[in-house]
């Protein structure tokens, strides 16, 4: 891949497009330059989210169960490239790329070739993959809000035939909700590995939880703060690089070995909200979704861990009172 500097005109054009997905109709990549600019900026930022997801899945003991990968709606290939970065070329034998933009598929293929010129890469739709779909590990990223309802249904219905699915979407309300709908579709013959700690219906779908959404925050690497172009990217395009919100979903087909979370584990959603002397923590587990309060004086170590946000998002609440966490610890991996 040629080394490129940010082209502000192209980046602003792309930004406007992504801010208004309703304005998108059909294929929008106009040139290889568009894809290159996406790849080194927005795409790179998405890659940082994928990195966080692979790390979390690793902590949970998740492993790829197939060397045949699909990247659907691949764009510049960020999802598959992040997989290669996390697991290495030896984890992949065959890659199927799909995007309704041929330009995007070709660009992604070129990026993969730069890392591994041996691996087999084919551009194929899910229909064309056909009988091989049940052998695959399917990836998708930042695509749901560009699809119609029927396209989303068709995608979920195909994906649930795969061995494994890992899906990353923006951490906003709409995308998270669209991903939750995919979870419900996939649950028919898959089980959830993460972020959910159980296989029940998503509690976010209950009326009383309709204002919440399932999201997490990844960390930006040092370069986002030290390299000059990123500072301009952040200010010109009004993108906060300190905050990388994302939603994700990892599922294995039900016939694979189960990877159950321990009974007593809870997932902390989003960022705990800090107030003077206490924090509000949105906690999801077998009890459903609960907005608990944690008083600093009840458990100082837990308060510190939650505030620093360095211990991941899985916790065990050892003592719960009426709407309150009285004692807890980060969950041991």
- The reply to whether 104 sits near ligand SAM by the rule CB under 6 A is yes
Q: Give whichever of 104 and 244 is closer to ligand SAM, judged by the CB atom.
A: 104
Q: Which of 106, 110, 135, 151 is the binder for ligand SAM (CB under 6 A)?
A: 151
Can residue 10 be called a binding residue for ligand SAM (CB under 6 A)? no
Kindly state whether residue 241 participates in binding ligand SAM, applying the rule CB under 6 A: no
- Tell me 144's DSSP state: G
- The pair of structure tokens assigned to 308 is 């620093």
Q: Which stretch binds ligand SAM (CB under 6 A): 83-91, 137-145, 285-293, 314-322?
A: 137-145
Nearer to ligand SAM (CB atom), residue 66 or residue 101:
101
Phi first, then psi: give them for residue 326, nearest 5 degrees: -105, -20
With binding defined as CB under 6 A, does residue 99 bind ligand SAM?
A: yes
Name which of 15 and 177 has its Cβ closer to ligand SAM: 15
Query: Which residues are 169's β-sheet partners?
Result: 247
Interaction between residue 82 and ligand SAM (CB under 6 A) = no
- The residue whose two tokens read 């308060």 is 303
Instruction: Tell me: does residue 56 bind ligand SAM (CB under 6 A).
Output: no
**Beta-strand runs (E) in 22-177:** 68-72, 94-98, 120-123, 137-141, 164-170
For residue 166, what are its two tokens? 């890992």
Of 129-137, 140-148, 244-252, 319-327, the segment contacting ligand SAM by CB under 6 A is 140-148
- Select from 70-78, 223-231, 279-287, 300-308 the region that touches ligand SAM (CB under 6 A): 70-78
Number of residues that bind ligand SAM (CB under 6 A): 17
If the CB atoms of residues 221 and 288 are measured against ligand SAM, the closer one turns out to be 221
Query: In angstroms, how far is CA 36 from the centroid of its own chain?
Result: 22
Please report the DSSP string for 261-302 in residue order: PPTTEEEEEEEEEEETTEEEEEEEETTEEEEEEEETTT-HHH
- First CA to last CA distance, the chain: 38
Q: Is 124 in the site for ligand SAM (CB under 6 A)?
A: no
**Which tokens in the block code for residue 233?**
């990217």
Q: Return phi, psi of residue 120, to 5°.
A: -80, 125
Of 66, 64, 68, 65, nearest to 120 by C-alpha is: 68
**Which lies closer to ligand SAM via its Cβ, residue 99 or residue 299?**
99
Taking CB under 6 A as the criterion, the residue among 11, 36, 40, 46 binding ligand SAM is 46
Is residue 169 part of the contact set for ligand SAM (CB under 6 A)? Answer: no
User: Is the separation of the CB atoms in 77 and 111 below 8 Å?
Assistant: yes
Total residues found in the chain within this entry: 333
Rule CB under 6 A: is residue 100 a binding residue for ligand SAM?
yes
Matching residue, tokens 């699909």: 70
Residue showing the smallest CB distance to ligand SAM in the complex:
75
* Residue 110 within binding range of ligand SAM, rule CB under 6 A: no
Among 81, 143, 194, 294, binds ligand SAM (CB under 6 A): 143
Grouping H, G, I as helix, E, B as strand and the rest as coil, residue 68 is strand
Q: Which is nearer to ligand SAM, 101 or 261 (CB)?
A: 101
141 binds ligand SAM (CB under 6 A): yes
Question: How deeply is 322 buried, as exposed, middle or buried, from its count of CB atoms within 10 A (0-12, 13-18, 19+)?
Answer: exposed
Residue 111 within binding range of ligand SAM, rule CB under 6 A: no
| Contacts of residue 302, Cβ cutoff 8 Å, sequence gap at least 6 | 294, 315, 325, 327, 328, 329
- Residue 74 as a binder of ligand SAM (CB under 6 A): the answer is yes
Interface with ligand SAM by CB under 6 A: which residues?
A: 43, 46, 73-75, 78-79, 99-101, 104, 141-143, 146-147, 151
């Amino acid at each position: 891949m040629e080394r490129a500097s940010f082209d502000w005109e192209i980046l602003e054009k792309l930004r406007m497009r992504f801010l208004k997905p309703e304005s998108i109709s059909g294929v929008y990549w106009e040139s290889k330059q568009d894809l290159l600019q996406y790849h080194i900026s927005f795409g790179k930022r998405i890659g940082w989210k994928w990195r966080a997801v692979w790390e979390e899945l690793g902590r949970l003991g998740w492993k790829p169960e197939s060397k045949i990968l699909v990247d659907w709606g691949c764009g510049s290939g960020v999802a598959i490239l992040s997989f290669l970065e996390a697991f290495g070329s030896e984890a992949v034998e065959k890659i199927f790329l799909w995007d309704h933009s041929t330009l995007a598929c070709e660009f992604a293929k070129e990026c993969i070739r730069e890392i591994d010129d041996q691996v087999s890469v084919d551009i194929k739709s899910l229909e064309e993959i056909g009988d091989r779909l049940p052998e695959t590990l399917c990836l998708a990223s930042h695509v749901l809000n560009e699809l119609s309802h029927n396209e989303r249904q068709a995608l979920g219905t195909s994906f649930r035939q795969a061995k494994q699915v890992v899906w990353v979407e923006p951490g906003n309300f709409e995308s998270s909700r669209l991903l939750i709908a995919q979870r419900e579709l996939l649950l028919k013959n898959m089980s959830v590995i993460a972020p959910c700690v159980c296989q029940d219906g998503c509690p976010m779908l209950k009326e009383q939880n309709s204002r919440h959404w399932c999201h997490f925050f990844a960390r930006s690497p040092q370069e986002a703060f030290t390299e000059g172009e990123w500072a301009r990217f952040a200010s010109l395009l009004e993108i906060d690089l300190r905050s990388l919100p994302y939603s994700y979903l990892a599922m294995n087909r039900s016939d694979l070995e189960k990877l159950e979370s321990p009974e007593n584990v809870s997932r902390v959603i989003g960022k705990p909200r800090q107030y003077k002397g206490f924090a509000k923590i949105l906690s999801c587990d077998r009890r459903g979704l609960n907005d608990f309060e944690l008083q600093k004086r009840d458990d100082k170590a837990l308060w510190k861990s939650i505030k620093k946000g360095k211990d991941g998002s899985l916790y065990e609440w050892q003592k719960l009172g009426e709407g309150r966490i009285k004692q807890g610890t980060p969950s041991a991996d």
